[in-house]
């Protein structure tokens, strides 16, 4: 990774993610059993897990993020025993080396906008979930408002360069559906604290049929 991707962009992501603590509390608070958190970044969400989880496996493509997140775990050791349940791994969501039916919960929090092959990634998540396992998600997506969607499409090429591959035009809900997921809870809304281009959000739970 270059200096921008390794140093500057993680800082920008941290700042941009601060308005979403309420969503983190809800999503991560509903995790249970053996959990896979994809794209954990700097580990900002680790503190939101509850005692209903038995193990947390974090998967991150960017190796530089893992050490930063490990430092975050060390800080948590004085706050919560959950820190002892966290294991971090470097790898790609599109080719996970976990066996089928490995996890009770998978969490995707502002991740699918940046996955290079989201269709494959969704199928991989479906594969590693146990039957009736749940996918908990919070993602920004292509707007259902025509005017905003046009701006997202127009600016997407430039945005992807500045935001290290993040796309403004993902229809993540449809991607999850095509992978076989059934939504038990989904909220599609404009987030009041997001910048306009990324304000169209989906949040909820989908289960493996």
Q: For residue range 78-110, list pLDDT tens digits in order.
A: 888 889 999 999 999 999 999 999 999 999 999
Torsion of the alpha carbons at 62, 154, 186 and 46, rounded to the nearest 10: 20
* Ramachandran assignment for 110, one of left (phi > 0), alpha (psi -120 to 50 degrees), beta (any other): left
Report the DSSP pairing between strands 103-109 and 33-38: parallel
Question: For 116-149, b where at least 16 C-beta lie within 10 A, e where not — what string?
Answer: eebebbbebbbbbbeeebbbbbbbbbbbeeeebb
Q: For residue 187, what is the DSSP state?
A: E
Q: For residue 17, what is the DSSP state?
A: H
Q: Which helix (H) or strand (E) holds 190?
A: strand 181-190
Angstrom distance (rounded) from CA 42 to CA 30: 21
* Strand order across the 33-38 sheet: 86-90, 53-60, 33-38, 103-109, 129-140, 200-208, 181-190
- Count of all residues that appear for the chain in the document: 209
List of residues 6+ apart from 158 with CB closer than 8 A: none
Angstrom distance (rounded) from CA 156 to CA 122: 22
pLDDT band at 65 (very low <50, low <70, confident <90, very high): confident
Q: What distances in angstroms separate CA 1 from CA 7, 9, 10, one per listed residue?
A: 9, 11, 12
Angstrom distance (rounded) from CA 201 to CA 67: 29
Averaged pLDDT, 114-143: 97
Average pLDDT, whole number, for the chain? Answer: 91
Q: What is the pTM of this model?
A: 0.91
Q: Does domain 3-208 have CATH number 3.20.20.140?
A: no
Of residues 17 and 129, the one with the higher pLDDT is 129
At 80 the pLDDT is 83
């Amino acid at each position: 990774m270059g200096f921008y991707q390794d140093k500057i962009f993680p800082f920008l992501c941290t700042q941009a993610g601060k308005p979403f603590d309420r969503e983190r509390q809800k999503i991560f608070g509903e995790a249970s059993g053996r959990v896979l958190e994809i794209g954990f970044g700097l580990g900002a969400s680790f503190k939101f897990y509850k005692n209903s989880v038995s193990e947390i496996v974090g998967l991150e493509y960017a190796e530089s993020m893992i050490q930063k997140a490990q430092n975050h775990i060390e800080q948590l050791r004085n706050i919560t025993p959950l820190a002892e349940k966290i294991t971090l791994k470097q790898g790609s969501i599109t080719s996970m080396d976990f066996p089928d039916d490995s996890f009770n919960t998978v969490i995707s929090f502002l991740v699918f906008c940046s996955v290079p092959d989201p269709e494959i990634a969704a199928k991989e998540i479906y594969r590693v979930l146990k039957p009736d396992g749940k996918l908990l998600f919070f993602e920004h997506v292509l707007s259902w408002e025509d005017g905003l969607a046009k701006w997202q499409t127009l600016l997407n090429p430039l945005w992807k360069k500045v935001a290290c591959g993040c796309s403004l035009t993902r229809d993540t809900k449809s991607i999850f559906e095509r992978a076989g997921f059934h939504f038990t809870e989904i909220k599609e809304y404009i987030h009041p604290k997001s910048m306009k281009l990324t304000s169209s959000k989906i949040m909820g739970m989908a289960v493996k049929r």
